[in-house]
Structure 1
Amino acid sequence: MKTTVESSGLPADAFSAKCPTRQVLDHIAGKWTILVMDALTEGTMRYTELSRRIEGVSQKMLTQTLRSLEADGFVTRTIHPTIPPRVDYDLTSLGRSLAEPISALRQWTEHHINEIEDARRQARGARACPADHERPLRRLARPLAALPKRPNTTGMRALRRLARHRTRRRLGRP
């Protein structure tokens, strides 16, 4: 039995562009959303704990992700009246119900990473030919060297300089 979306009265269908489930699915499938949700399965965390746990996330992206998770009802944000203010994040019951499949997805990825990397290497090997890495340089160097000289265009000068450098490298000159 399909769920009916209360706002439209239509059945929930993530394949339909107009269905709100598509927006939620896009949000849930985001890189940082998955990592934040999975990190919060370990328990209540402060903002700095989350940023340390999730390497590579910027302050802006972590803040945006936490705000949207809170707006969707997956995360609660608790502010403690201390100096400095202490803010804790935790999963709601809705968030915990979503965290289980997210954790399973992370575990599956960690378990199969070697197979995935092997497939990627084979795909790159099938596409590559011995001189593939040189071809883009030759293609780029010719048109850039033929660019008209414009004294006030710094970007064009940089492109010409790059073309000369690539040409010299190809010819074996320093």
Structure 2
Amino acid sequence: MSGRPREFNDIAVIEAAMDVFWSHGYEGASAQALVERTGLGRGSLYNAFGSKLGLYHEALEHYQQLGIQIQSRILCRPGPVKARLRELMLWGIDIDLDPVKRRGCMAQFAVLERSGTDPKVEQISRVYVARLEQVLCDLFAEGQASGELATCRPARTAARAFLSSYYGLRLLGRSMPERDFLIDTLEGILTSL
């Protein structure tokens, strides 16, 4: 005989937990905050996800799945390559400077907070970066083929350089949360392509 069926929606719980972890990080997210936000008791949370860490991993994977979908849609639209890259960076700036939440990128903070001690976070992050890198590599190859982007280095190398600049821009938004400053930085990145 199997156990009693779950009486909650896994995705809704994961999204609620994601909100807590995104706002407070893993260490700063209390069990009580997770219980209050998800509406489940501690026993139900732990039975469903094994532990706070198991729930965190599920939330991080979900966050990254949503993020890669949005970023891929931006980058795979028709139009000039630089316009799509600009739109991606503007999307990141808008999230990072959100006047209500100002949370930045959960994926980046997960790596900063947990990568040295949590191999699962490292693995989740590697998959995410590899997926975004591939979308960017395809876009850079397209831009090089059309003559819009320089061809002095391979598309993968150029995509990785851009990826580094993009992540740097996102982190910079935490210490310099000024839109004009970040837009100037964005324009410098695009000019270097």
- Per the TM superposition, whether the score is higher than 0.5 is no
* More helix by percentage: 2
| TM-score, L = length of structure 2 | 0.20
* More strand by percentage: 1
Higher RCO structure, 1 or 2 (CA under 8 Å, sep 6+): 2
Which of these two proteins has the greater Rg computed from alpha carbons?
1
